[in-house]
A and B are shown apart, each in its own frame.
Chain A
C-alpha cells in the first residue's frame, strides 16, 4: 500500500519556464513533507520542506504548496534551469519508535531543456 504517490514518472520543461511536480499522500498522521533531489550516482539531497500546519513554504526559486484537505502537495521551480534536471522525490515524515521516518514516493524525473 503506497502511502506517498508521485503519479508522473517524468516531466520535461523548457529552461526559464515553471516546473510543477506533484505528490499525493493517504496518511493523515504525516506531520512534515519534504522534497529531495537526486542526481545520478549520488544520494538524495534535501531541497525544501513544509510543516503540515502550513500551506506554503518558499526558498528562492523553490516553493512547496500543501493542500491538506486534498492530501496533495506540489513543488514549483521558477524559473527552471538545466541544472535542475534530476529525479525529485517527495517524502512524508512520521514518528516511528525513537525517530522520524520518511515514506518516499517513487520519484519524478525532471528534464529541463534549452
Chain B
C-alpha cells in the first residue's frame, strides 16, 4: 500500500544533542509537511516542501531545519533540542498544494528529551 512512513516511532535524545527524524513516502506526492503536536494541543505546521522549494512558517524556531534530498524522503533536524521540543512530530504529504487535496499523515515520531 502506498503510504507515509516515519522512523523511528519513538526517539529519545539528550538535552542539546542533535537529532534527526525521518519521513518517506511511496505516494509520489509533490508536497511534504512537518507538524509538531504537543500533548493535548493541536498539530502545528513547522514547514513544508513543494518539490525542492522550502517554506518555513514564521514562528518556527531556528533550531528546526529540514532537508528533502529527493521526492520520497524528508528529514527534520533539531540542532539543539530543549525540553520544550518534546512532542509528537507528524509528517504529511499531499499531491498538490491546493486546499482541496487532503494531506496524508504518517504515524508520527514521539520525541523525548532527557
Knowing A96-B55, A97-B55, the reply to whether A102 touches B103 (Cβ < 8 A) is yes
Contact A95 B97 (CB under 8 A): yes
- Count contacts on A: residues with CB < 8 A to the other chain: 30
Contact A100 B94 (CB under 8 A): yes
Closest to A39 in B: B107
Contacts of B106 in A (CB 8 A): 43
Contacts of B101 in A (CB 8 A): 100
Number of A-B contacts defined by CB within 8 Å: 77
Contact B99 A94 (CB under 8 A): yes
Knowing A102-B45, A106-B41, the reply to whether A45 touches B105 (Cβ < 8 A) is yes
Report the minimal beta-carbon distance from B37 to chain A, rounded to whole angstroms: 8
State whether the Cβ of B43 lies closer than 8 Å to any Cβ in chain A: yes
Contact A46 B104 (CB under 8 A): yes
Residue from B40, B97, B108 in contact with A99 in the complex, judged by beta carbons closer than 8 Å: B97
State whether the Cβ of B21 lies closer than 8 Å to any Cβ in chain A: no
Interface residues of A in 11-56 (CB under 8 A from B): 31-32, 34, 36, 41-46, 49, 51
Residue from A95, A97, A104 in contact with B99 in the complex, judged by beta carbons closer than 8 Å: A95
Contacts of B107 in A (CB 8 A): 41-43
Contact B97 A98 (CB under 8 A): yes
Knowing A42-B107, A46-B103, the reply to whether A100 touches B97 (Cβ < 8 A) is yes
Q: Which 5 A-B pairs have the closest CB atoms?
A: A99-B97, A97-B55, A43-B105, A98-B50, A93-B99
Which B residues form the contact surface with A (CB < 8 A)? 4, 6, 31, 33, 40-45, 48, 50, 53, 55, 57, 90, 92, 94, 96-108
Which A residues form the contact surface with B (CB < 8 A)? 2, 4, 31-32, 34, 36, 41-46, 49, 51, 89, 93-107
Given A41-B107, A43-B106, 18 more pairs with CB closer than 8 A: A36-B105, A43-B105, A43-B107, A44-B43, A44-B90, A49-B100, A95-B97, A95-B99, A96-B48, A96-B55, A98-B31, A99-B33, A100-B99, A101-B57, A102-B43, A104-B42, A104-B44, A105-B42
